[in-house]
Amino acid sequence: MRYLLFCILVFFSLNGNGQLAAYDSSHVQARAFNEQAISEYKKDRQFQYDKLSEPVTSLWDRFWAWFWRKIGELMSNPVGNVTVKIIFILLGIAAVVYFILKMTGDRTGLFGSRGKKGLDYEVGSEDIHSISFDDAIKEAVDKENYRLAVRLVYLYSLKLLSDKALIDWKPGKTNTAYVYELKQHAASDTFNHLTTSFEFAWYGGETVSKEHYRDFETSFIDFKNKIN
């Protein structure tokens, strides 16, 4: 067996002329790594692939993380669970009440008072035939309560339509009903614009500036000219 292996090694060592192949004697230059460069790369965070950096969180994010962690701790026991549910239910009820009051003009004053800009009478259940509109509108404008002035001007437009039998005015009737009743009249588009502007100002709770009120007043004058 040893002789057979020897013969095989000799056979593969022979070159094409039957001579033993010579070993490669070319010069080999050994190269080494640059230890300083490797050290610099190790210090560079961009090449530290085995280390995951924590994402930077803001103070606001940390607050909410703490808040929800505390909520989780409260809900982990029966008493705290019931307490948290009651709090959320009360907050939900408060949000619904606030929304309803805002949509109805917040007539109760629960979330604020009219202060020095308010008038002496309630604006939620007016009889449009018993209000001196010229005086009331002037008073609201003098007190810079332009939101209330817009409402009074709009009620004045309803009175004018009712006086001319162009609408069937009734307390509690919707503005949409009045728009529908006037849809065949030449003043329909202008009245529709007044209605939309009034609802945004009163029910939408938008701030009404002096300039906005003047634009509304101009539309009202155009409306009066069309129904006369």
User: Band of the pLDDT at 51, cuts 50, 70, 90?
Assistant: low
Distances (CA, A) of 145 to 128, 149, 202, 209: 19, 6, 12, 9
- The number of folded domains in the chain is 2
> Above 60 in pLDDT, residue 155?
yes
Q: Cα 32 vs. chain centroid, distance in angstroms?
A: 61
Are 90 and 127 in the same domain? Answer: no
Are 98 and 119 in the same domain? Answer: no
> Above 50 in pLDDT, residue 16?
no
pLDDT in tens, 191-206: 999 999 998 888 877 7
Q: What percent of the chain has pLDDT over 70?
A: 69
Give residue 104's pLDDT. Answer: 54
Q: Cα 97 vs. chain centroid, distance in angstroms?
A: 21
Residue 8 maps to a domain = no
> Above 50 in pLDDT, residue 120?
no
Residue 90 maps to a domain = yes
Are 87 and 140 in the same domain? Answer: no
> Above 70 in pLDDT, residue 147?
yes
Query: Which residue's entry shows tokens 């308010």?
Result: 118
Give residue 90's pLDDT. Answer: 87
Are 99 and 137 in the same domain? Answer: no
Are 99 and 143 in the same domain? Answer: no
Distances (CA, A) of 188 to 177, 198, 214, 226: 12, 15, 21, 9
Residue 167 maps to a domain = yes
Residue 14 maps to a domain = no
Give residue 203's pLDDT. Answer: 82
User: Band of the pLDDT at 39, cuts 50, 70, 90?
Assistant: confident
Q: Which domain holds residue 83?
A: 59-103
Specify the pTM.
0.47
Are 127 and 91 in the same domain? Answer: no
